[in-house]
Amino acid sequence: ETKWTEATNGRFKMDQFEWGFGIAGAGSGWEIKNQPYRLEDGFNTINIWGRIDRVDTDSDGNFTVYDYKLGKGPAVKDLVELKNLQIPVYLMALEQLYSSPGQAAGGCYLGLREPSRAGGGVWNRDKLGPVLKSKGLLEQAEWDELLEMVRGEIAAAVSGIRNGHFGLTDDDCPKYCEYSSCCRRLERKVSEG
């Protein structure tokens, strides 16, 4: 926290904890948002709800979001390759429900044992400035493209689910997965021999 505060000149201050959206009675501090983040895919409205662990804001209304992890969270590569959409979804939800377009400075997973903003986040260089070295520090065009691709991934996933297509990925199941006891990955490994 000290290094981050120095790098950003103390610009971002902790503002909200456990801010929920789309959940009745969720959140605290700011106006509670019972409505979900709504994403239009051209045919349908997709409603997404969640709870953001932490939101920091600056005096211009820019914000950063954080999701705390006991160990290490997903890597930058997982975010920019669209293998993990949680942080970008939180950023888009906050812009739609609380802030206004263009206010997101970025967000990351903060491991409680090894907190690092460079290792597991995506950042908008135009909003944040060159305060850290990370593959997740994106120019405005890259940032806009990432968020548009996330919207496309969500729409494709929802369309697939609605049409009964939600097969297994080739990725390994994370160790922290709550559903490992009933995961079909083991079933596939046995059938593939």
Q: What is the mean pLDDT of the chain?
A: 83
CA distance 174 to 141: 31
Q: For residues 90 and 109, is the Cβ–Cβ distance under 8 A?
A: no
Domain that holds residue 30: 2-162
Residue 141, domain member (yes or no):
yes
Q: Looking at 5-14, 61-70, 181-190, which range is the least confident one?
A: 181-190
Residue 64, domain member (yes or no):
yes
Alpha helices in 18-176 (DSSP H): 76-80, 86-97, 125-128, 140-162
Residue 42, domain member (yes or no):
yes
Residue 170, domain member (yes or no):
no
Other beta carbons less than 10 A from residue 146's beta carbon: 19
Average pLDDT over residues 145-167: 91
Helix (H, G, I), strand (E, B) or coil at 120: coil
Q: Euclidean distance between the first and final Cα of the chain, in Å?
A: 48
Residue 168, domain member (yes or no):
no
pLDDT 10s digits, 69-117: 887 778 888 888 888 999 999 999 999 998 888 899 999 998 777 766 6
More confident residue, 35 or 147: 147
**This prediction's pTM:** 0.83
Residue 172, domain member (yes or no):
no
- Centroid of chain to Cα 76: 11
Residue 191, domain member (yes or no):
no
At 140, the pLDDT band (50, 70, 90 cuts) reads: very high
Instruction: Quote the number of domains for the chain.
Output: 1
Check pLDDT > 80 for residue 155.
yes
Residue 182, domain member (yes or no):
no
